[in-house]
Structure 1
Amino acid sequence: MNREAAAAYIGVEAQTLANWASTGKVRIPFLKIGRKVTYLKSDLDVYLASSKASTTR
Structure 2
Amino acid sequence: MYIYDQHDKTLIGERVAQYRRQTDDYLAGKIPDEVFLPLRLQNGLYVQRLAPMLRI
TM-score surpassing 0.5? Answer: no
Larger Rg: 2
Which is bigger in relative contact order (C-alpha 8 A, separation at least 6)? 1
Q: If the length of structure 2 is used for normalisation, what is the TM-score?
A: 0.32
